[in-house]
Amino acid sequence: MEHLLTLHDLSSEEIFQILRLAKKLKRELKEGVLHPTLQGKTLGMIFTKASTRTRVSFEVGMSQLGGQALFLSSNDIQLGRGESIYDTAKVLSRYLDGIMIRTYKQSDVEELAKYGSIPIINGLTDLVHPCQILADLQTIEEKKGKLEGIKLAYIGDGNNIAHSLLYGCAKVGMDVAIASPKAYSCNEEIVENAKADARKTGAKVHMTEDSTEAIANADVVYTDTWCSMGQDAEKEERVKAFQGYQVNKELFAKAKDDAIFLHCLPAYRGFEVTSDVIDEPNSVVFDEAENRLHAQKAVMQILMSK
C-alpha cells in the first residue's frame, strides 16, 4: 500500500490491517499510551472544498502521532492560481512526508500520486471518500462485533459516499443495498468493480430505486446529503427528486430492530434524515465521526512510517 486513493485499490487484508491498527490506536489513546510513530514527519493537507471533520481529525491525528500537519487552502497556494498538479506534486514531495487532499476531480488526486514521490491520501473527491468509509467500517465492527455477513442499506444520492461504501463493503464481505432515484444512481463502473470484488468475498451488491426494498433486513442504515459540495445550484431540483428517499422513523422501522444509523455528516435534518432518527439511541453518528481520527491515524502510520 503506497497511497490511499480509493478502497478498490486496497486488498481486503490491507483494509483489515488498517482496521486492526485503528482499534489498537483508539484503545491506546484512551489508556493514555503515547504512540509518536511519525515524529519529525509533516503531512500537507490540501483543501479545495470545505471541511470540519477531515481537517480537524487529520491535524489532531498527526499531532498525536508526534508529527505535524500543514493546512494548505487552495485559496492560498499557487495551485489555486493555476500552477499544475505536476509541479505541485514535484515541489511538495521535496518538503513533505505525505499529502492529504480534498478536491473535486479524482484524476487530480491520481495525478498527484503519479508525479509525486510521497504517499497521497484521498480526503474526498466528487467520486469517492475512502477515509470516511474506513471509519464507518470501524464503527460497524465495534457495534455489531463483525463485518462479514452484515447488511448495510444506503438510501439517497449515488455519490462519493455511496461509491466508497460499495467498494468498502464488497472488500470486507458485507452485503450492501443502495436505493437512489434513477437519475442519481451510482457510477456504473464503480458498481461493476464492487460486484467483482463482492464475488471474491461472498458479499451481495444490490442496486434499486426502492428504499423499502433496500432497507429490508438491514443491520446498518446509512444516508448522506442530497446536495454535495459543488452542487448547490441544483439544490431545488435535487430536493424534489429525492422525495421518498428520506430516512425517517417510518422507513427506519423497516430495517432490523437492532439496526444502527450512520451518516458521514454534515447532516441536513428534515431533508435526507429526520431528527427522530439521527438523534435517537440507535444512531452512532458521533462515534462514527470520532473514528475518523483513529482510522486515519492508522492510514498515516502505515503509509508514512516507512
Give me the active site residues, please: 102, 129, 132, 224, 264, 292
Q: What is the DSSP letter of 241?
A: H
- Residue 51 in the binding site for ligand CP (CB under 6 A): yes
Closest-CA residue to 166 (of 185, 141, 183): 185
Tell whether residue 52 is a contact of ligand CP (CB under 6 A): yes
In Å, how far from its chain's centre is CA 62?
18
DSSP state of 150: -
Among residues 133 and 147, whose Cβ is nearest to ligand NVA? Answer: 133
Range in contact with ligand CP (rule: CB under 6 A) among 8-16, 49-57, 148-156, 230-238? 49-57
Binding residue for ligand CP (CB under 6 A) from 6, 54, 160, 225? 54
Contact partner, 224, from ligand CP, ligand NVA, none, Cβ < 5-8 Å per class:
ligand NVA
Within 8 A by CB and 6+ apart from 207, the residues are: 177, 178, 180, 185, 186, 191
At its nearest, how many Å lie between ligand NVA and the CB of residue 69?
19
Taking CB under 6 A as the criterion, the residue among 1, 29, 239, 265 binding ligand CP is 265
Q: Cell 467520486 belongs to which residue?
A: 127
Residues in the chain: 306
Contacts of 126 (CB under 8 A, 6+ apart): 104, 105, 106, 159, 160, 228, 230
In sign, the C-alpha dihedral spanning 56, 62, 68, 69 is negative
> What are 70's strand-pairing partners?
44
Q: Which residues bind ligand NVA (CB under 6 A)?
A: 124, 159-161, 224-225, 228-229, 264
Give least dist CB 106 to ligand NVA, A. Answer: 12
The least CB distance from residue 181 to ligand NVA, in Å, is: 16
Shortest reach from residue 264's CB to ligand CP, in Å: 4
Cα dihedral value 39, 42, 43, 44, nearest 10:
170
Cβ atoms of 231 and 239 closer than 8 Å = no
Q: Which of residues 88-127 bind ligand CP (CB under 6 A)?
A: 124
Q: Which does 161 bind (CB under 5 to 8 A by kind): ligand NVA, ligand CP, none?
A: ligand NVA
Residue nearest to ligand CP (CB): 54
Work out how close the CB of 55 gets to ligand CP at its nearest, in angstroms, rounded to a whole number: 6
Residues that bind ligand CP (CB under 6 A): 51-54, 124, 132, 264-265
